[in-house]
Structure 1
Amino acid sequence: MSRQRHVLGLSGGRDSAALAVHMAQTRPDIELEYFFTDTGKELPEVYEYLGRLEGFLGKPIERLNPDRDFDFWLRQYKSFLPSPRTRWCTRQLKIRPFEQWLWPALDDGDEVVSYVAIRSDENYREGYSSTHPNLSVLLPFREEGVDKAGVIDILEASGLGLPSYYEWRSRSGCTFCFFQQKIEWVRLMERHPESFEEAKSYEKNAIEHGSPFTWSQGESLEDLARPERVEQIREEHRKRLERAKAKRVRNPLRSDDSEIDLDELYGQAKVCLACHK
């Protein structure tokens, strides 16, 4: 017999975690299945946070491991790195495993509702477009008017708080995500040097095979890691932060010294929804 299933994808980021908490608290009547598509290249902080979230929800998060990893697909794409213009990593390591997981049930007649954490203040973002007639997508935060501040309130009230990587990085995703700002690459080098070196090796191999892309726009990680360049990136970031603080309109509900996050500082990147929510 066909059945109705409800699924919610987690990225290890704040928005999807807040949606999971929100649904558990406001719609306990819905039997949700939680899943995480694991590329194997995530930050250790992501796995730690997912473990805490499992404890809060009281149920396991299904790990969807792609049957072919990043290295396999890099070879298939002839060592060309993924980029904002060619996001094969999202397609092959996130969307493909999701569809492989659900499509047999959908083809057998199951109806699946997928809940996606697009906030009410993200009108520029679109969710996964269903390509199967039995799969529908709902955006509870957009429908209920939950914005970024609301997401943070949900996580703080639950006791989970934010994933620890938000101390230095703007979002979840692979360690070598090409959407990172240059200051984030510097911080990755400091906090997870082994991941930075792995990214450098991927980039070096890609360049040797004729790839036109580097992880960070306009320069290689080899150049970015030079001490004088690191200091320049730090100084540029410091000046940008000072300018942003000077322009910030005073909010009586927020202290003037409250932190300006990277999205506020550099603008919202049109990142891959499947990875970063």
Structure 2
Amino acid sequence: MKSKVRHVLGISGGKDSAALAIYMFENYPELPIEYYTCDTGKELEATYQLIKNLEIYFGKSLTLLEAAAKSHEDPFDHFLQLYGGYLPSSASRWCTRKLKLEPFEKWVGNDPVVSYVGIRGDEDREGYISKKPNIQSIFPFRKNIWSEDVVSKLLKNDHIRKVANWYQQTDTQHLERILEIVEEPLSSKFVQTEKLNALLNLDTPAFNQVAFAFLKTTNYPLSAEANFPLVDNDDVLKKDDIYDILKRSGVGVPQYYEEITFEVNGKKGTYARSRSGCYFCFFQQKIEWVWLYEQHPDKFRMAMEYEKDGYTWMQDERLEDLIQPERMDQIKEEQIRRIERAKNNTKSPYLVDKLNDEVEGCISCFL
């Protein structure tokens, strides 16, 4: 019988969501996952190439969600006009809301939906959680696949007896110790994160079984499922695993992650793009704007054309000022210093992994 629950996975053009799509396709073929992407009309060609490579890998097209589909303009330009030329910023992320979230929520409607999110096991963030009660997020790359709201409800002190009973129905080899942890109430000396990690470290699949049993008593989308194969999942995937999946599958790592060498004042450094998303994204670092200017000058010129009527992509600097030779040299020299500071922090060949002071961006765009 066909499941009443829809399983969906959004692909932004970034490495993590692409790797998650491949991982789920290979490991959970029994799940009827719908793969989709939201097109802003302002992506780099490498993003569109990644989508094509995934479609070849899957043997089918991804569902394309496009805001303002009936407009004669690209989605971004359509909404920019509606906002009177006001460019999006970290203080007003109308681009993410209008071009990504609203088309997604319109597409799923009121159906019960399980949404798979590619946050890695070496990241400490929750990601986008829909405010709609019919959408439930799952994080397959993490040891804890459940969202914060599910965990906080499950581990409430009021549920101690129920959680203990559910654990007794599992086949865990650590029941005695687990029950000791379960029966210790949350307090200022024993917070939720400690309790969660202690239970996960002892037996992740057993915790997942208990969480799934709890969900069956709720109105979450998974309450309608007879079983859920990720209950047995104890994988934890990190950066290197993501690159391995993309390379092994033949889909490949998006080209903009590959670092390029530059020289300034007799010193050599490297730069690359650290994220997917629109080529003019305001979350870009200044070295990424320099990268765009030197590697995709046509895109940079197009980004410059949006800066008018006092609106700029960066609060403190216009693009025409950033590309002055002396200013670009300053940015490149600072990039060299940053890489030098970070070079011992990771052995990854990708520049994005060497820079540990990245600005956090919109999760819906950059995974």
TM-score where L is the length of structure 2: 0.66
> SS of 1:136's equivalent?
strand
Structure 1 stretches lacking a partner, 5+ long: none
Aligned to 2:359: 269
* Deviation digits for residues 237-270 of structure 1 (CA, Å, limit 9, x no counterpart): 122222322xx15x8xx5xxx5352353251322
Partner of residue 100, structure 2: 94
Greater Cα shift, 232-241 or 86-95: 232-241
- Structure 1 residue runs of 4+, over 6 Å off? none
Q: Distance in 2 between matches of 1:206 and 1:169?
A: 28
Structure 2 match to 1:158: 249
Distance 1:183 1:133 in 2: 40
On the 8 A contact 1:180/1:216 being kept in 2, the answer is no
Greater Cα shift, 68-77 or 83-92: 68-77
Q: Contact between 1:2 and 1:111, CA under 8 Å: does it hold in 2?
A: no
In 1, Cα distance between the equivalents of 2:322 and 2:116?
39
Deviation by residue 1:13-38 (Cα, 9 ceiling, x = unmatched): 10000000100111011121111100
Match of 1:33, SS state, is: strand
Post-superposition offset of 1:216? 3.0
Match for 2:277: what amino acid?
G
Equivalent runs, 1:77-92 vs 2, <5 Å: 77-92=83-98
Contact 1:6 1:112 in 2 (8 A): yes
- List aligned pairs for 1:1-277, cutoff 5 A: 3-67=4-68, 69-103=75-109, 106=110, 110-123=111-124, 125-142=125-142, 143=145, 144-167=235-258, 168-203=272-307, 205-207=308-310, 211=311, 214-245=312-343, 248=344, 254=347, 259=349, 261-277=351-367
TM-score by length of 1: 0.86
Cα distance in structure 1, aligned partners of 2:321 and 2:336? 20
Q: Deviation at 1:2?
A: 8.0
Once residues 285 and 128 of structure 2 are traced to their aligned partners in structure 1, the CA distance between those partners, rounded to angstroms, is 25
Corresponding pairs, count: 257
Q: Take 2:359 and 2:36, find their aligned partners in 1: how far apart are those partners? A: 24
Give the deviation of 1:45 after TM superposition.
0.7
Change (3 A) 1:200 1:239: same
Rg comparison, structure with higher value: 2
Which structure has more relative contact order (CA 8 Å, sep 6+)? It is 1
Q: Any idea what SS the aligned residue of 1:161 has?
A: coil
Structure 2: where are the runs of 5+ without partners?
A: 146-234, 259-271
Q: Partner amino acid for 1:4?
A: V
Q: What amino acid maps onto 1:127 in structure 2?
A: G
> Once the 2 structures are TM-superposed, how far is the Cα of residue 229 of structure 1 from its aligned partner?
1.2
Quote how far apart the aligned CAs of 1:76 are: 2.6
Instruction: Tell which deviates more after alignment, 63-72 or 171-180.
Output: 63-72
- The CA distance in 1 between the partners of 2:43 and 2:282, in whole Å, is 13
